[in-house]
Amino acid sequence: MTHPVTDVTKAPSRKMLLGGQILNHGSADGAWRWPGNTPGLHYDLDAMAHIAKVAEQGKFQLIFIADHPAMREDISHSPPTATIEPLIITSHLIGQTKQIGFALTQSTTFNFPYTVARQMKALDVLSGGRIGWNAVTTNDPTIGANYGSHIDDRDTRYARAHEFIQLVRALWDSWGKDALKLDVERGIYADVSQIQPINLGGQFVASRGPLPTPPSPQGQPIIFQAGGGAEGLQLAGMYASGVYSMVTDIATGRAHRQALDRAALAAGRDPSAVKLFMGIFTTVAESEEAALARREALLQFASIPLAAKLHHLSMLVGIRLTMETIREPLSAERLAALRPNLNYPHAARATKLLQDGKSPYEVLLRDVTGFHTTIIGSPTQVADQLQELFEAGAADGFFIMPDVISDGLPAFVEGVVPILQSRGLFQSDYEGSTLRENFEATVPKVTA
């Protein structure tokens, strides 16, 4: 679906949010080997700072930093997917950037509220109010083993998460907004009457407080949430300003949005205060044909064999596909036998592409076996698809991960962002100096 350029004199009042999940080599399998990429990006602060500056040039509201404190992949032929350590990386990047925000992941399962509150608040103050906390529970036994512990059941993990977040927020508020005086003439550093212990505790966690850290310009960091299910929805509805969803299309996006609205209303909040994000993989080139050629060139660096990708596609569409006929469109008989397995993301899209006459090889070039939705094409085509998802209510914003970070992020920033801006769909400059201002986020007022 294509959209004409919107008259900016009638710009839409609602603008999309853009984040970058970009402190990695890229979303394409084998991206670390692409010419021009930095093979050791995970351990190169200068390279990561350059990426953050490109995202800031594109006026992205934030960079999202995932975490997985365990070795979950075989790194014989591909690098790890998680950042080496979110707090350390963020502490460097806030000094290399001026306006872009950072949302970093910290678990409520294998941490203490005081530690997380102190670390996040310190980063928030030092960055001038540009920090968000992605509060997650941990369900991976390998991470539990790293901490010499086991993984509790889901109900216990989320019960702890509620107490944890409430304590962190109370610690963030343990200083009054005017407590720090810095009055040199009168010799008054702080008004200690505005700095109070919180003395809170529950079944799982407790803290006396206060923090040794004054408020930042945004008051306290923004809370993000990335869990699923009823428990994740409740957590998001009560505390989050941003939700990283696993939705893949308009239908799943609208469904998650409706469920999130109900959760926010149940918590006594305005649903519009909770922004829903969709993860998007991108390949941007001068045309769709050039984008497909780029995807084909990336295959030579892939660590996952094409046959394995084809097997995955077979599971998506419900019929056995073979390497011998991978470049041939399906016969009418085989098309009639397609049965999309809706337990898999992208199954409906993969089926539709085959029904439209694409060969299995052409479908794989469109990365339907990827984790998130992949959008490929010219800058206008990519902008069109983002606009369609946004205007259909599938998401309030997108976390962008280009196929290859070294040239894929500049291609998005230089090609797609100006089109979105010309249509009045994305900010032309930062609205304020803090992440909360650029997010238009208020602090949720929730009763424990």
Angle in degrees, 0-180, between the axes of helices 250-266 and 229-239, rounded to the nearest 10: 60
Region for 97 from its dihedrals, namely left if φ exceeds 0, alpha if ψ lies in -120 to 50, beta otherwise: beta
Query: Could you tell me whether strands 180-183 and 397-402 are parallel, antiparallel, or unpaired per DSSP bridges?
Result: unpaired
Length of the chain as a residue count: 448
* Cα 145 from Cα 280, distance rounded (Å): 32
CB contact at 8 A, 164 and 206: no
Binning the chain into helix, strand and coil, the percentages to the nearest 5 are 40, 15, 45
* Cα 67 from Cα 15, distance rounded (Å): 28
CB contact at 8 A, 208 and 197: yes
* Cα 350 from Cα 57, distance rounded (Å): 35
* Cα 414 from Cα 343, distance rounded (Å): 36
Q: Any bridge partners for residue 281, and if so which?
A: 374, 401
* Cα 346 from Cα 360, distance rounded (Å): 14
Strands (E), 51-208: 62-65, 101-107, 131-136, 180-183, 188-190, 200-201, 206-207
* Cα 90 from Cα 263, distance rounded (Å): 31
DSSP string, 192-254: GGGB----EE-SS-EE----S-PPBTTBSPEEEE---HHHHHHHHHHH-SEEEE---SHHHHH
pLDDT per residue of the chain (448 residues) written in tens, 0 to 9: 444 434 443 445 789 999 999 889 999 999 999 999 999 999 999 999 999 999 999 999 999 999 988 887 888 888 888 889 999 999 999 999 999 999 999 999 999 999 999 999 999 999 999 999 999 999 999 999 999 999 999 999 999 999 999 999 999 999 999 999 999 999 999 999 999 999 999 999 999 999 999 999 999 999 999 877 899 999 999 999 999 998 999 999 999 999 999 999 999 999 999 999 999 999 999 999 999 999 999 999 999 899 999 999 999 999 999 999 999 999 999 999 999 998 888 898 999 999 999 999 999 999 888 889 999 999 999 999 999 999 999 999 999 999 999 999 999 999 999 999 999 999 999 999 999 999 887 776 654 4
Q: Which of 216, 239, 219, 237 is nearest to 163 (CA)?
A: 239
